[in-house]
A and B are shown apart, each in its own frame.
Chain A
Protein backbone atom coordinates (compact mmCIF):
# COMPACT_ATOMS: atom_id res chain seq x y z
CA UNK A 1 0.00 0.00 0.00
CA UNK A 2 1.83 3.18 -1.07
CA UNK A 3 0.44 6.34 0.62
CA UNK A 4 -0.18 9.30 -1.60
CA UNK A 5 2.06 12.30 -0.92
CA UNK A 6 -0.93 14.13 0.60
CA UNK A 7 -1.67 11.21 2.95
CA UNK A 8 1.98 11.05 3.94
CA UNK A 9 2.01 14.74 4.72
CA UNK A 10 -1.20 14.45 6.77
CA UNK A 11 0.17 11.48 8.63
CA UNK A 12 3.38 13.30 9.33
CA UNK A 13 1.60 16.29 10.84
CA UNK A 14 -0.77 14.05 12.79
CA UNK A 15 2.19 12.13 14.19
CA UNK A 16 4.10 15.30 15.02
CA UNK A 17 1.13 16.69 16.99
CA UNK A 18 0.67 13.31 18.73
CA UNK A 19 4.32 13.04 19.73
CA UNK A 20 4.36 16.63 20.94
CA UNK A 21 1.28 15.96 23.07
CA UNK A 22 2.05 12.55 24.54
CA UNK A 23 5.80 11.97 24.15
CA UNK A 24 7.35 15.32 24.97
CA UNK A 25 8.48 16.03 28.50
CA UNK A 26 7.12 19.51 29.07
CA UNK A 27 9.58 21.98 30.55
CA UNK A 28 12.45 19.64 29.97
CA UNK A 29 12.89 20.13 26.27
CA UNK A 30 12.69 23.68 25.03
CA UNK A 31 10.68 23.71 21.80
CA UNK A 32 13.55 25.39 19.92
CA UNK A 33 15.79 22.38 20.50
CA UNK A 34 13.20 20.14 18.95
CA UNK A 35 12.98 22.34 15.84
CA UNK A 36 16.77 22.61 15.58
CA UNK A 37 17.31 18.85 15.44
CA UNK A 38 14.19 18.18 13.33
CA UNK A 39 13.67 14.54 12.26
CA UNK A 40 16.21 13.16 14.64
CA UNK A 41 14.27 13.97 17.77
CA UNK A 42 11.09 12.85 16.03
CA UNK A 43 12.58 9.45 15.22
CA UNK A 44 13.56 9.06 18.85
CA UNK A 45 10.01 9.77 19.93
CA UNK A 46 8.50 7.47 17.33
CA UNK A 47 10.69 4.71 18.76
CA UNK A 48 9.56 5.59 22.29
CA UNK A 49 5.91 5.34 21.17
CA UNK A 50 6.53 2.02 19.38
CA UNK A 51 8.25 0.65 22.47
CA UNK A 52 5.45 1.80 24.76
CA UNK A 53 2.73 0.18 22.64
CA UNK A 54 4.73 -3.00 22.04
CA UNK A 55 5.12 -2.39 18.30
CA UNK A 56 8.16 -3.21 16.18
CA UNK A 57 10.65 -0.43 16.92
CA UNK A 58 11.49 1.02 13.50
CA UNK A 59 11.47 4.77 14.09
CA UNK A 60 9.25 4.99 11.02
CA UNK A 61 5.61 5.99 10.66
CA UNK A 62 4.57 2.55 9.44
CA UNK A 63 0.93 1.44 9.27
CA UNK A 64 0.79 -0.16 12.75
CA UNK A 65 2.19 3.03 14.27
CA UNK A 66 -0.29 5.23 12.42
CA UNK A 67 -3.14 2.95 13.54
CA UNK A 68 -2.18 3.55 17.18
CA UNK A 69 -1.83 7.30 16.57
CA UNK A 70 -5.35 7.43 15.13
CA UNK A 71 -6.98 5.56 18.03
CA UNK A 72 -9.08 7.63 20.50
CA UNK A 73 -7.25 7.84 23.81
CA UNK A 74 -6.62 9.51 27.17
CA UNK A 75 -5.06 12.98 27.15
CA UNK A 76 -2.47 12.29 29.87
CA UNK A 77 1.01 12.02 28.30
CA UNK A 78 2.58 8.55 28.15
CA UNK A 79 5.94 9.89 29.27
CA UNK A 80 6.51 11.34 32.73
CA UNK A 81 5.61 14.97 32.99
Chain B
Protein backbone atom coordinates (compact mmCIF):
# COMPACT_ATOMS: atom_id res chain seq x y z
CA UNK B 1 0.00 0.00 0.00
CA UNK B 2 1.07 3.67 -0.35
CA UNK B 3 0.07 6.81 1.50
CA UNK B 4 0.02 10.32 0.08
CA UNK B 5 3.05 12.59 0.69
CA UNK B 6 2.73 14.10 4.18
CA UNK B 7 0.31 11.25 5.06
CA UNK B 8 -2.81 13.43 5.27
CA UNK B 9 -5.59 11.84 7.37
CA UNK B 10 -8.82 12.93 9.06
CA UNK B 11 -8.31 14.08 12.67
CA UNK B 12 -11.81 12.99 13.79
CA UNK B 13 -13.65 9.65 13.98
CA UNK B 14 -17.03 10.71 12.62
CA UNK B 15 -17.05 11.99 9.05
CA UNK B 16 -20.01 13.44 7.20
CA UNK B 17 -20.80 12.69 3.57
CA UNK B 18 -23.30 14.10 1.14
CA UNK B 19 -24.32 12.98 -2.34
CA UNK B 20 -24.89 16.31 -4.06
CA UNK B 21 -25.40 15.11 -7.67
CA UNK B 22 -26.74 11.76 -8.92
CA UNK B 23 -26.34 9.85 -12.20
CA UNK B 24 -29.17 9.02 -14.60
CA UNK B 25 -27.95 5.45 -14.99
CA UNK B 26 -28.94 4.38 -11.45
CA UNK B 27 -31.81 5.24 -9.11
CA UNK B 28 -30.88 7.54 -6.22
CA UNK B 29 -31.68 4.71 -3.80
CA UNK B 30 -29.20 2.45 -5.60
CA UNK B 31 -26.52 5.14 -5.49
CA UNK B 32 -27.20 5.70 -1.77
CA UNK B 33 -26.89 1.97 -1.10
CA UNK B 34 -23.68 1.53 -3.10
CA UNK B 35 -22.08 4.53 -1.38
CA UNK B 36 -23.17 3.27 2.06
CA UNK B 37 -21.71 -0.20 1.42
CA UNK B 38 -18.49 1.29 0.05
CA UNK B 39 -18.02 3.41 3.19
CA UNK B 40 -18.88 0.42 5.39
CA UNK B 41 -16.03 -1.52 3.72
CA UNK B 42 -13.62 0.93 5.38
CA UNK B 43 -15.46 1.50 8.66
CA UNK B 44 -15.36 -2.23 9.34
CA UNK B 45 -11.56 -2.02 9.52
CA UNK B 46 -10.91 1.24 11.38
CA UNK B 47 -12.66 3.29 14.11
CA UNK B 48 -14.31 5.65 11.66
CA UNK B 49 -18.05 6.19 11.20
CA UNK B 50 -19.83 8.01 8.41
CA UNK B 51 -22.88 10.16 8.82
CA UNK B 52 -24.95 11.27 5.86
CA UNK B 53 -26.09 14.87 5.59
CA UNK B 54 -28.52 16.15 3.02
CA UNK B 55 -27.56 19.80 2.89
CA UNK B 56 -24.60 22.10 3.25
CA UNK B 57 -20.93 21.16 3.26
CA UNK B 58 -19.84 17.62 4.23
CA UNK B 59 -16.34 16.24 4.77
CA UNK B 60 -16.82 13.96 1.74
CA UNK B 61 -18.86 15.61 -1.02
CA UNK B 62 -19.88 13.04 -3.65
CA UNK B 63 -21.09 13.93 -7.13
CA UNK B 64 -21.32 12.69 -10.73
CA UNK B 65 -19.60 15.16 -13.07
CA UNK B 66 -19.01 15.50 -16.82
CA UNK B 67 -15.84 16.66 -18.59
CA UNK B 68 -14.19 19.72 -17.10
CA UNK B 69 -15.96 20.26 -13.77
CA UNK B 70 -13.70 22.86 -12.23
CA UNK B 71 -11.14 20.92 -10.17
CA UNK B 72 -8.38 20.88 -12.85
CA UNK B 73 -8.89 17.11 -13.36
CA UNK B 74 -11.37 16.99 -16.29
CA UNK B 75 -13.10 13.70 -17.06
CA UNK B 76 -12.56 12.16 -20.48
CA UNK B 77 -15.89 10.63 -21.56
CA UNK B 78 -16.66 6.89 -21.62
CA UNK B 79 -13.92 4.51 -20.27
CA UNK B 80 -10.47 5.90 -19.55
CA UNK B 81 -10.74 7.76 -16.25
CA UNK B 82 -13.78 6.54 -14.28
CA UNK B 83 -13.56 8.65 -11.10
CA UNK B 84 -11.18 10.44 -8.76
CA UNK B 85 -11.04 11.61 -5.16
CA UNK B 86 -9.00 14.08 -3.12
CA UNK B 87 -6.90 13.24 -0.07
CA UNK B 88 -8.19 14.27 3.39
CA UNK B 89 -8.24 18.02 3.99
CA UNK B 90 -10.40 21.12 3.99
CA UNK B 91 -12.40 22.29 0.96
CA UNK B 92 -11.95 19.80 -1.87
CA UNK B 93 -10.25 17.40 0.57
CA UNK B 94 -12.11 14.08 0.68
CA UNK B 95 -14.37 15.03 -2.20
CA UNK B 96 -15.14 12.21 -4.65
CA UNK B 97 -16.26 12.62 -8.26
CA UNK B 98 -17.53 10.00 -10.70
CA UNK B 99 -17.49 10.44 -14.48
CA UNK B 100 -21.14 10.80 -15.51
CA UNK B 101 -20.25 9.66 -19.03
CA UNK B 102 -19.80 6.10 -17.75
CA UNK B 103 -22.62 3.58 -17.40
CA UNK B 104 -22.86 3.02 -13.64
CA UNK B 105 -24.56 -0.08 -12.29
CA UNK B 106 -25.21 -2.14 -9.16
CA UNK B 107 -24.18 -5.26 -11.10
CA UNK B 108 -21.76 -5.97 -13.92
CA UNK B 109 -23.41 -4.49 -17.02
CA UNK B 110 -21.36 -1.34 -16.82
CA UNK B 111 -18.99 -0.09 -14.13
CA UNK B 112 -20.03 -1.30 -10.69
CA UNK B 113 -20.47 1.81 -8.54
CA UNK B 114 -19.69 0.00 -5.29
CA UNK B 115 -16.34 -1.21 -6.68
CA UNK B 116 -15.22 2.23 -7.87
CA UNK B 117 -16.64 4.09 -4.86
CA UNK B 118 -14.88 1.78 -2.38
CA UNK B 119 -11.59 2.46 -4.22
CA UNK B 120 -12.13 6.25 -4.33
CA UNK B 121 -13.10 6.43 -0.65
CA UNK B 122 -9.70 4.84 0.06
CA UNK B 123 -8.18 8.01 -1.45
CA UNK B 124 -10.64 10.22 0.44
CA UNK B 125 -9.39 8.60 3.67
CA UNK B 126 -5.70 9.00 2.79
CA UNK B 127 -4.56 5.99 0.74
CA UNK B 128 -2.67 6.43 -2.56
CA UNK B 129 -2.53 3.71 -5.27
CA UNK B 130 -1.13 0.35 -4.34
CA UNK B 131 1.19 -1.75 -6.54
CA UNK B 132 -0.44 -4.94 -5.20
CA UNK B 133 -2.73 -6.25 -8.02
CA UNK B 134 -5.04 -7.90 -5.43
CA UNK B 135 -5.55 -4.63 -3.56
CA UNK B 136 -8.73 -2.53 -3.82
CA UNK B 137 -6.38 0.46 -4.17
CA UNK B 138 -4.80 -0.93 -7.38
CA UNK B 139 -5.45 1.79 -9.99
CA UNK B 140 -7.28 -0.19 -12.71
CA UNK B 141 -10.93 -1.29 -12.55
CA UNK B 142 -11.70 -4.84 -11.51
CA UNK B 143 -15.27 -5.77 -10.45
CA UNK B 144 -15.75 -6.52 -6.74
CA UNK B 145 -18.95 -8.20 -5.55
CA UNK B 146 -20.49 -5.81 -2.99
CA UNK B 147 -22.25 -8.36 -0.77
CA UNK B 148 -19.95 -10.09 1.68
CA UNK B 149 -17.08 -7.91 0.49
CA UNK B 150 -14.04 -7.78 2.80
CA UNK B 151 -11.13 -5.39 2.35
CA UNK B 152 -8.03 -7.19 0.98
CA UNK B 153 -5.10 -7.46 3.42
CA UNK B 154 -2.99 -4.80 1.70
CA UNK B 155 -5.78 -2.21 2.08
CA UNK B 156 -6.45 -3.18 5.72
CA UNK B 157 -2.75 -2.66 6.48
CA UNK B 158 -2.76 0.69 4.70
CA UNK B 159 -5.86 2.14 6.33
CA UNK B 160 -4.89 0.87 9.77
CA UNK B 161 -1.48 2.49 9.36
CA UNK B 162 -3.44 5.77 9.32
CA UNK B 163 -6.29 5.20 11.78
CA UNK B 164 -5.38 2.13 13.83
CA UNK B 165 -7.51 -1.03 13.99
CA UNK B 166 -11.16 -1.16 15.02
CA UNK B 167 -10.88 -2.98 18.34
CA UNK B 168 -12.77 -6.27 19.00
CA UNK B 169 -14.35 -8.11 21.95
CA UNK B 170 -11.55 -9.86 23.93
CA UNK B 171 -11.68 -13.61 23.51
CA UNK B 172 -14.04 -13.43 20.59
CA UNK B 173 -13.16 -13.75 16.89
CA UNK B 174 -12.72 -10.47 15.07
CA UNK B 175 -16.18 -9.16 14.50
CA UNK B 176 -16.71 -6.12 12.27
CA UNK B 177 -18.73 -3.43 14.04
CA UNK B 178 -17.90 -5.06 17.36
CA UNK B 179 -17.81 -2.53 20.13
CA UNK B 180 -14.33 -1.57 21.12
CA UNK B 181 -14.05 -3.37 24.42
CA UNK B 182 -16.07 -5.21 27.05
CA UNK B 183 -17.41 -2.17 28.94
CA UNK B 184 -17.72 -2.39 32.73
CA UNK B 185 -21.36 -2.29 33.95
CA UNK B 186 -22.03 0.88 35.99
CA UNK B 187 -23.37 0.26 39.51
CA UNK B 188 -26.77 1.93 39.25
CA UNK B 189 -27.41 1.40 42.92
CA UNK B 190 -24.74 3.76 44.15
CA UNK B 191 -26.27 7.04 45.32
CA UNK B 192 -24.83 9.23 42.57
CA UNK B 193 -26.08 7.08 39.77
CA UNK B 194 -28.04 8.59 36.86
CA UNK B 195 -29.18 7.76 33.29
CA UNK B 196 -28.20 9.17 29.89
CA UNK B 197 -31.59 8.34 28.35
CA UNK B 198 -34.84 6.52 29.14
CA UNK B 199 -37.51 5.46 26.65
CA UNK B 200 -40.32 3.05 26.06
CA UNK B 201 -39.73 0.56 23.23
CA UNK B 202 -42.78 -1.58 22.55
CA UNK B 203 -43.78 -3.05 25.92
CA UNK B 204 -40.41 -2.44 27.54
CA UNK B 205 -38.70 0.44 29.27
CA UNK B 206 -35.05 0.96 28.30
CA UNK B 207 -32.55 2.77 30.55
CA UNK B 208 -29.28 3.89 28.93
CA UNK B 209 -26.08 4.67 30.77
CA UNK B 210 -22.61 4.86 29.14
CA UNK B 211 -22.26 1.84 26.83
CA UNK B 212 -24.90 -0.26 28.63
CA UNK B 213 -28.70 -0.32 28.64
CA UNK B 214 -31.21 -2.09 30.92
CA UNK B 215 -34.53 -3.52 29.71
CA UNK B 216 -37.51 -4.06 31.97
CA UNK B 217 -41.22 -4.82 31.49
CA UNK B 218 -43.16 -1.70 32.52
CA UNK B 219 -45.10 -3.45 35.25
CA UNK B 220 -42.41 -5.93 36.34
CA UNK B 221 -39.47 -5.03 38.55
CA UNK B 222 -37.76 -8.42 38.15
CA UNK B 223 -35.78 -9.74 35.19
CA UNK B 224 -33.97 -6.48 34.52
CA UNK B 225 -31.03 -7.28 32.27
CA UNK B 226 -28.03 -5.15 31.26
CA UNK B 227 -26.53 -5.51 27.77
CA UNK B 228 -24.20 -3.45 25.60
CA UNK B 229 -25.87 -0.91 23.34
CA UNK B 230 -23.87 -2.00 20.32
CA UNK B 231 -24.92 -5.65 20.74
CA UNK B 232 -28.56 -4.68 20.11
CA UNK B 233 -28.08 -1.55 18.05
CA UNK B 234 -24.87 -2.28 16.08
CA UNK B 235 -25.03 0.91 14.03
CA UNK B 236 -25.74 3.18 16.98
CA UNK B 237 -22.92 5.09 18.60
CA UNK B 238 -21.64 3.32 21.66
CA UNK B 239 -23.62 5.61 23.99
CA UNK B 240 -26.78 7.69 23.67
CA UNK B 241 -27.74 11.23 24.74
CA UNK B 242 -31.54 10.98 24.47
CA UNK B 243 -34.28 8.70 23.15
CA UNK B 244 -38.05 8.63 22.69
CA UNK B 245 -40.71 6.48 21.05
CA UNK B 246 -43.83 7.40 19.09
CA UNK B 247 -45.69 4.21 19.99
CA UNK B 248 -48.60 4.56 17.58
CA UNK B 249 -46.03 4.89 14.79
CA UNK B 250 -43.99 2.00 16.18
CA UNK B 251 -40.90 4.15 15.73
CA UNK B 252 -38.17 5.14 18.18
CA UNK B 253 -35.54 7.83 17.88
CA UNK B 254 -32.05 7.78 19.40
CA UNK B 255 -29.84 10.85 19.66
CA UNK B 256 -26.08 11.23 19.89
CA UNK B 257 -24.43 14.62 19.37
CA UNK B 258 -25.86 16.34 16.27
CA UNK B 259 -27.19 13.03 14.81
CA UNK B 260 -30.16 10.74 15.35
CA UNK B 261 -31.14 7.24 14.35
CA UNK B 262 -34.62 5.87 13.66
CA UNK B 263 -35.59 2.31 14.60
CA UNK B 264 -38.62 0.05 14.45
CA UNK B 265 -38.15 -2.00 17.58
CA UNK B 266 -34.46 -2.89 17.44
CA UNK B 267 -34.24 -2.59 13.65
CA UNK B 268 -32.35 0.40 12.30
CA UNK B 269 -34.23 2.33 9.63
CA UNK B 270 -31.41 3.59 7.44
CA UNK B 271 -28.33 5.66 8.18
CA UNK B 272 -28.11 8.35 10.88
CA UNK B 273 -29.58 11.78 10.15
CA UNK B 274 -28.96 15.27 11.37
CA UNK B 275 -30.93 16.84 14.24
CA UNK B 276 -31.21 20.02 12.18
CA UNK B 277 -33.92 18.23 10.16
CA UNK B 278 -36.09 18.92 13.25
CA UNK B 279 -35.46 22.63 12.96
CA UNK B 280 -33.03 23.09 15.85
CA UNK B 281 -30.82 26.17 15.58
CA UNK B 282 -27.21 25.45 14.68
CA UNK B 283 -25.98 26.35 18.16
CA UNK B 284 -27.71 23.20 19.50
CA UNK B 285 -25.04 20.51 19.28
CA UNK B 286 -26.69 17.77 21.34
CA UNK B 287 -29.96 16.84 23.01
CA UNK B 288 -29.94 16.09 26.74
CA UNK B 289 -33.35 14.41 26.94
CA UNK B 290 -36.51 13.83 24.89
CA UNK B 291 -40.03 12.75 25.81
CA UNK B 292 -43.07 12.15 23.57
CA UNK B 293 -46.41 13.25 25.04
CA UNK B 294 -48.97 10.84 23.61
CA UNK B 295 -52.18 12.89 23.98
CA UNK B 296 -50.64 16.16 22.77
CA UNK B 297 -48.65 14.32 20.03
CA UNK B 298 -45.73 16.62 20.86
CA UNK B 299 -42.14 15.77 21.69
CA UNK B 300 -40.29 17.86 24.25
CA UNK B 301 -36.53 18.18 23.71
CA UNK B 302 -34.42 19.31 26.68
CA UNK B 303 -31.19 21.21 25.96
CA UNK B 304 -29.32 22.73 28.93
CA UNK B 305 -31.86 24.58 31.05
CA UNK B 306 -34.31 25.06 28.18
CA UNK B 307 -36.66 22.85 26.20
CA UNK B 308 -38.18 22.85 22.70
CA UNK B 309 -41.54 21.46 21.61
CA UNK B 310 -41.86 19.56 18.30
CA UNK B 311 -45.30 18.89 16.77
CA UNK B 312 -45.11 15.27 15.53
CA UNK B 313 -48.27 15.62 13.48
CA UNK B 314 -47.15 18.73 11.61
CA UNK B 315 -43.51 17.53 11.82
CA UNK B 316 -42.31 20.94 12.78
CA UNK B 317 -40.89 22.76 15.76
CA UNK B 318 -43.43 24.88 17.61
CA UNK B 319 -43.04 28.65 17.77
CA UNK B 320 -42.16 30.56 20.95
CA UNK B 321 -39.57 27.93 22.00
CA UNK B 322 -37.16 27.30 23.64
CA UNK B 323 -38.63 27.95 27.08
CA UNK B 324 -37.02 27.71 30.50
CA UNK B 325 -37.57 24.24 31.96
CA UNK B 326 -37.74 25.17 35.64
CA UNK B 327 -40.24 27.94 34.92
CA UNK B 328 -42.58 25.62 33.00
CA UNK B 329 -42.17 22.48 35.14
CA UNK B 330 -42.26 23.72 38.72
CA UNK B 331 -40.49 21.48 41.18
CA UNK B 332 -38.16 19.94 38.63
CA UNK B 333 -34.67 21.19 39.42
CA UNK B 334 -31.39 20.79 37.60
CA UNK B 335 -30.52 19.73 34.06
CA UNK B 336 -32.75 17.03 32.64
CA UNK B 337 -30.74 13.90 31.74
CA UNK B 338 -33.68 11.76 30.62
CA UNK B 339 -37.47 11.81 30.52
CA UNK B 340 -40.30 9.39 29.77
CA UNK B 341 -44.11 9.63 29.88
CA UNK B 342 -46.06 6.83 31.59
CA UNK B 343 -49.77 6.79 32.50
CA UNK B 344 -50.18 10.56 32.16
CA UNK B 345 -47.12 11.39 34.25
CA UNK B 346 -43.80 12.62 32.99
CA UNK B 347 -40.80 11.17 34.82
CA UNK B 348 -37.83 13.54 34.70
CA UNK B 349 -34.38 12.08 35.53
CA UNK B 350 -31.87 14.64 36.76
CA UNK B 351 -28.67 13.22 38.26
CA UNK B 352 -29.58 10.61 40.91
CA UNK B 353 -33.18 11.89 41.20
CA UNK B 354 -36.36 10.92 39.33
CA UNK B 355 -39.22 13.47 39.55
CA UNK B 356 -42.80 12.28 39.00
CA UNK B 357 -44.57 15.23 37.37
CA UNK B 358 -48.38 15.14 37.21
CA UNK B 359 -49.36 16.92 33.97
CA UNK B 360 -52.87 17.63 35.27
CA UNK B 361 -51.77 19.12 38.57
CA UNK B 362 -48.78 20.67 36.77
CA UNK B 363 -46.61 19.84 39.70
CA UNK B 364 -44.10 17.31 41.01
CA UNK B 365 -45.98 14.76 43.13
CA UNK B 366 -43.02 12.58 44.22
CA UNK B 367 -39.24 12.29 43.96
CA UNK B 368 -37.52 8.87 43.85
CA UNK B 369 -33.94 7.70 43.40
CA UNK B 370 -33.18 7.10 39.72
CA UNK B 371 -31.74 3.67 40.61
CA UNK B 372 -35.09 2.56 42.03
CA UNK B 373 -36.35 2.20 38.45
CA UNK B 374 -33.99 -0.72 37.89
CA UNK B 375 -34.56 -2.47 41.18
CA UNK B 376 -32.19 -0.64 43.57
Contacts and interface: CB of A to CB of B under 8 A. Distances in A.
B131 A52 contact: yes
Nearest to B141: A72
A22 B128 CA distance: 12
A37 interface: no
A15 to B, nearest CB: 13
A68 B99 CA distance: 20
Interface residues of B, number: 25
Interface stretch (B42-50, B80-88, B311-319): B80-88
B164 interface: no
Given A54-B131, A80-B128, A75 B5 contact: no
Contacts of A52: 129, 131
Contacts of B129: 52, 74, 76, 78
A54 B133 contact: yes
A80 B128 CA distance: 8
Interface in B30-51: none
A25 to B, nearest CB: 10
B82 A75 contact: yes
Contact of B81 (A54, A68, A74, A80): A74
- Main SS of the interface on chain A? loop
A6 interface: no
B87 to A, nearest CB: 9
A74 B5 contact: no
Given A80-B4, A80-B5, A73 B141 contact: yes
A78 B138 CA distance: 9
A52 B75 CA distance: 23
A75 B128 contact: no
B124 to A, nearest CB: 10
A68 B138 CA distance: 12
A71 interface: yes
Interface string B11-40: 000000000000000000000000000000
Interface of B: 4-5, 73, 75, 79-85, 99, 102, 111, 116, 119-120, 123, 128-129, 131, 133, 139-141
Given A73-B140, A76-B85, A80-B128, 20 more contacts: A52-B131, A54-B131, A54-B133, A68-B140, A71-B141, A72-B102, A72-B140, A72-B141, A73-B81, A73-B141, A74-B82, A74-B83, A74-B84, A74-B119, A74-B129, A75-B99, A76-B84, A76-B139, A80-B4, A81-B5
26 contacts: A22-B139, A52-B129, A53-B131, A54-B133, A71-B140, A71-B141, A72-B79, A72-B80, A72-B82, A72-B102, A73-B139, A73-B141, A74-B83, A74-B84, A74-B116, A74-B123, A74-B139, A74-B141, A75-B75, A76-B128, A76-B129, A76-B139, A78-B139, A80-B4, A80-B5, A81-B5
